[in-house]
Structure 1
Amino acid sequence: MSARELRFAIFGAGFWTRYQLSAWRELEGVTCVAIYNRTRPKAEALAREFGIPAVYDTPEDLLREAKPDFVDNITEIAGHKPLSLLCAQRRVPCICQKPMAPSLAAARAMVKAFAKTRTRFFVHENWRWQTPMRQLKRLIDSGVIGTPFRGRLTMISGYDCWANQPALRELKQFILTDLGVHILDVARLCFGEANSVYCQIRKTLAPKVKGENVATLLLSMGPAKTTVVIELGYAKTPLEPTVREAFPQTLAFVEGPLGSLEVSADYLIKVTTRNGTLIERHPPPRYPWADSQYAVAHASIVDCHRDLLRALRGEGGGETTGADNLKTMELTYAAYSSAAEDRVISFR
């Protein structure tokens, strides 16, 4: 017997909504039945394009009348807490866009609210589902290089990310909450929880971009106390094409006592041991709706959704629960404190 089809609703009609809707349509047993956006014409346009039967002027009306099995909250960050808490109050499972909240206190309140009502809560954290990142995780877990003692994760690009998302220019906290949460989540996935973090940030595009757009982090992670360096930057700095300029790919180099792993541009992964170097390419799946400039990011949404759908069905999965992502948020805001106070923040 096939599983019952789950009906979901969308909050938000911004840049990412189109791609997340397209990703949901790649999966069986789930369909969008309603959408709410504070600017109704945007919601109506998406409803026509994707065949969504109902558009609502308020999220309260949507939840009361459409009665979705879950909500995908894809609003801008200001809508994350209030709309997610509304779902918690109505006991409707919710997937919230990253970053979970504009403050650590807000994130904790959200997780607490869903726990109190015993309602499922997830964060849409797709970066860990990128094909090269999953392969990097598998290789680390295989022990082929031994227990890593040092790792480097780099996401530096001259790409104009503000062209598609102009609201990002106005964020007083930018690179760590926008890109940093992704890379910190990957670091947790690969190396374990943080023992300490030290961070420095820069504002090289002020005043046009209000928040920091460059960050460098040094962490101790996991039981092995692996030293992890994270480099983040949207600085419009000219970079060598296809080598250093690889938006939106994350580059990585991990060292262990038995060898090294390297994720380089064009989805190449190199495994070097005493037996030599093995080079394999791990490109993302291709989808006709994905923007070629965002290929690896857009493709990862499908696998992220697949994992969350399994969890919503009670079939396991659900890596990025609200409670798990709260650890990423704690690390993110600890990095801001480290930068402001110019000191190492310890967790243990």
Structure 2
Amino acid sequence: MKKKLKGVCVGVGYFAQFHYEAWARIPEVEILALCDLRLEEATEVARKWEIGVVYTDFEKMLDEQKPDFIDIITPPQTHLDIVKAAAKRGVNIICQKPLAPSLEEARGLVETAEKHNVRLMIHENWRFQPWYRQIKSLLDTNEIGEQLFYAYFRMRMGDGWQSDAYMDRQPYFRDMPRLLIYETGIHFIDTFRYLFGEVVEVYAKLRRYNSEIKGEDAALVQLTFESGQMVCLDANRYNESNVTNSRYTFGELLIEGSEGSIRLQGDGGITVQPLGLPERAVSYEPSKHSFAGDCVYQTQLHFVRSMLLDQPFETNGAWYLRNIEVQEAIYESGASGLPVSV
């Protein structure tokens, strides 16, 4: 990969720091400029990461810089307008999730990129966490058998019980009418599809434990897959985990198959327990750098490699729309109290 891609970024909010740090470590990328309406904050970010030009108008930035790609790190309600501006100029796109406020708008966003023949990747980074890449390898080699029966993921973030919950990091969480599934559960939907295949039915119970916020902060979701496998997501942001860093793996995972079990621990450790044999640790070294196993870097590295080698993105627009369809089915099930086919 000798060619260097020239990029621009929009957004300097909380999570943007992980994007800028990751771009700085990829030698095949040069970030030419960044944009945000908050000029003072944007200037400080540009100074930190040695980015030469700061804008408050993203269309002006696109016109003047003429980049190969744009990294969109802004709230979901802004994504469609930025994608339209980039796409009509022939600029390729990597865009943070949630992709859009609604499934209809997400479809319009993907259609816009397709219409202008620009490449679109959704920055869905959880599947790039090192433990999931390792688990995927174990599943692909039938480490616990050809047939998977069941998986259970338990998440307890402990950042949502306070009266001022989320104010220190992402205060807009408090006013989101949809929170846990829309903001966090979508990660699990994508990761489960990456590991287990296509979802055909969901059944969900959604709850709000913290009365100071608007959206749901707890969920019990059962997903049924084409293979017949069932997966349970047991998640809330209210109660606390007993691990040192609840934002490392975000929880614990159990996968059961016809010949044994795989377990992911909160510290990133993975074990395999074949039927009738002792449990053994899987030897690998998950990164402790940056966010959640350095998954932002791995996500953006995948984007760069796919661009330079003209290979498909794992999380392209068409793939990601299916995630949102599953998400919408979960909300429908939560409202109706009934299983919903996807």
Q: Same fold (TM over 0.5)?
A: yes
1:200-239 matches, within 5 Å, as 200-206=205-211, 208-222=212-226, 224-235=227-238, 237-239=239-241
Judging changes above 3 Å, is the alpha-carbon distance between structure 1 residues 52 and 240 closer, same or farther for their aligned structure 2 residues?
Answer: closer
CA distance in 2, matches of 1:239, 1:37: 35
TM-score, length basis structure 2: 0.93
Once the two structures are superposed, residues 237-294 of structure 1 have per-residue CA deviations (whole angstroms, 9 ceiling, x without a partner) of 244345xx7334131101111001111121111101133211136453243xx2xxx4
Report the residue type matching 2:182 in the other structure.
Answer: T
Look up the match of 2:178.
173
The answer to whether residue 321 in structure 2 is matched with residue 346 in structure 1 is: no
SS of residue paired to 1:267 = coil
Look up the match of 1:327.
322
CA distance in 2, matches of 1:85, 1:272: 50
Whether the aligned pair in 2 keeps the contact of 1:266 and 1:283 (CA below 8 Å) is no
Look up the match of 1:156.
156
CA distance in 1, matches of 2:19, 2:283: 26
Judging changes above 3 Å, is the alpha-carbon distance between structure 1 residues 257 and 173 closer, same or farther for their aligned structure 2 residues?
Answer: same
Look up the match of 2:129.
130
Bigger CA drift: 155-164 or 338-347?
155-164
Whether the aligned pair in 1 keeps the contact of 2:248 and 2:267 (CA below 8 Å) is no
SS of residue paired to 2:205 = strand
- Figure out how many residues of one structure are paired with residues of the other and give that number: 334
Report the residue type matching 2:173 in the other structure.
Answer: L
Shift of 1:337: 1.0
Look up the match of 2:277.
275
C-alpha root-mean-square deviation of aligned residues, in Å? 1.6
CA distance in 2, matches of 1:130, 1:239: 19
Shift of 1:183: 0.8
1:63-142 matches, within 5 Å, as 63-142=62-141
Whether the aligned pair in 1 keeps the contact of 2:203 and 2:222 (CA below 8 Å) is yes
CA distance in 1, matches of 2:281, 2:124: 28
TM-score, length basis structure 1: 0.92
Unpaired runs of 5+ residues, structure 2, are none
Corresponding residue to 1:310 among 305, 308, 327: 305
Look up the match of 1:54.
53
Runs of 4+ in 1 over 4 A off after TM superposition: none
Once the two structures are superposed, residues 93-136 of structure 1 have per-residue CA deviations (whole angstroms, 9 ceiling, x without a partner) of 11110111111011111111111111100100000011111111
CA distance in 1, matches of 2:106, 2:331: 15
Report the residue type matching 1:38 in the other structure.
Answer: L
Report the residue type matching 1:54 in the other structure.
Answer: V
CA distance in 1, matches of 2:285, 2:221: 27
SS of residue paired to 1:51 = coil
CA distance in 1, matches of 2:41, 2:75: 14
- What percent identity do the matched residue pairs reach? 29
CA distance in 2, matches of 1:315, 1:277: 41
CA distance in 1, matches of 2:61, 2:49: 18
Whether the aligned pair in 1 keeps the contact of 2:156 and 2:240 (CA below 8 Å) is no
CA distance in 2, matches of 1:247, 1:51: 28
Judging changes above 3 Å, is the alpha-carbon distance between structure 1 residues 48 and 66 closer, same or farther for their aligned structure 2 residues?
Answer: same
Look up the match of 1:258.
259
Unpaired runs of 5+ residues, structure 1, are none
CA distance in 2, matches of 1:85, 1:218: 36
Once the two structures are superposed, residues 34-62 of structure 1 have per-residue CA deviations (whole angstroms, 9 ceiling, x without a partner) of 11111111111111111111111211101
